[in-house]
Amino acid sequence: MASDRGPPAGDPTLRRRIEPWEFEFSFDPRKFCKEACLLYEIQWGNNRDVWRHSGKNTTKHVERNFIEKIASERYFCPSIRCFIFWYLSWSPCWECSKTIREFLNQHPNVTLVIYIARLFQHMDPQNRQGLKDLVQSGVTIQVMRAPEYEYCWRNFVNYPRGKEAHWPRYPPLWMNLYALELYCIILGLPPCLHISRRYQNQLIVFRLTLQNCHYQMIPPYILLATGMVQLPMTWR
């Protein structure tokens, strides 16, 4: 049931919440925004308190800004177990992936989970390898789904009165396509998702091009979830 109010007035994160239009503009998987947006949570040890904030690109990518900021904070204690959750509008580029791995290697008590709305320049071999290396180093990377959009809306967005349950419901097709391509990246398979822009970048077209290796290595349920694949019939 929708609440008749916005975030509680006593919510300590209220000043750090982003506006609804910012969330929808940054995290809509159907659109390509230029700026990257990061929503993040930090939890220390067994403490139930969660620190939430957001960040955007400056002269550096938002991932680098986060790492430099947290490493310089006086409350950052490398000896205490730390859990970090990122909700990113774009997946990290290869340079940011390298920076993340270096940070995690220096701080083994940090566990990082990344949810992404889109894949950043996923045809670039270096970006693909960067994401694969992150996963192999222990980072969890997943495509944002409806539960993540709801969670971010409730905990990071300054939603208006009566709109607590009105988070954006994006069609699952785009999420499934990005999830399929992320699976290809993790397995080291060639790209299967091709994205092009038409009519002065106003129209974004998604197209799948599957090879035999995709059919052989990717579970059928992931392929079928896109609604764009018909698996070859096996006769007995």
Q: What is the pLDDT of residue 196?
A: 83
Do 89 and 156 lie in one domain? The reply is yes
pLDDT digits (tens, 9 = 90+) for 139-151: 999 999 999 999 9
| pLDDT exceeds cutoff 90 at 99 | yes
In sequence order, what are the beta bridge partners of 140?
Answer: 113
Do 47 and 140 lie in one domain? The reply is yes
Over residues 34-51, mean pLDDT? 87
Where residue 16 falls among pLDDT bands split at 50, 70, 90?
Answer: confident
- Please report which helix (H) or strand (E) contains residue 206, including its range: strand 203-208
pLDDT digits (tens, 9 = 90+) for 153-199: 999 999 888 778 888 899 899 999 999 999 999 999 999 999 887 76
| pLDDT exceeds cutoff 80 at 78 | no
Q: How many domains does the chain have?
A: 2
Do 152 and 180 lie in one domain? The reply is no
Where residue 44 falls among pLDDT bands split at 50, 70, 90?
Answer: confident
CA distance 143 to 145: 6
Do 149 and 205 lie in one domain? The reply is no
Tell the residue number behind the tokens 């018909």, with chain if given.
230
Do 101 and 76 lie in one domain? The reply is yes
| pLDDT exceeds cutoff 70 at 1 | no
Mean of the per-residue pLDDT values of the chain:
86
Residue 194: strand, helix, or coil: strand
Q: What is the reported pTM? A: 0.88
Exposure class string for 217-232: b at 16+ Cβ within 10 A, else e:
ebeeebbebbeebeee
Structural domain span for residue 206:
175-235
More confident: 151 or 4: 151
Query: Catalytic residue at 63?
Result: yes
Where residue 235 falls among pLDDT bands split at 50, 70, 90?
Answer: very low
Do 165 and 88 lie in one domain? The reply is yes
Of 142, 38, 220, 82, the residue nearest 229 (C-alpha): 220
Among 63, 148, 164, 181, the one annotated catalytic: 63
Do 29 and 118 lie in one domain? The reply is yes
Residue after which a domain boundary falls, among 150, 170, 190: 170
Do 181 and 218 lie in one domain? The reply is yes
Over residues 79-89, mean pLDDT? 92
Alpha carbon of residue 30 to chain centroid: 14
CA distances from 97 to 115, 140, 155, 174 (A): 14, 13, 26, 23
Q: What is the pLDDT of residue 236?
A: 37
Residue after which a domain boundary falls, among 170, 185, 220: 170
Where residue 13 falls among pLDDT bands split at 50, 70, 90?
Answer: low
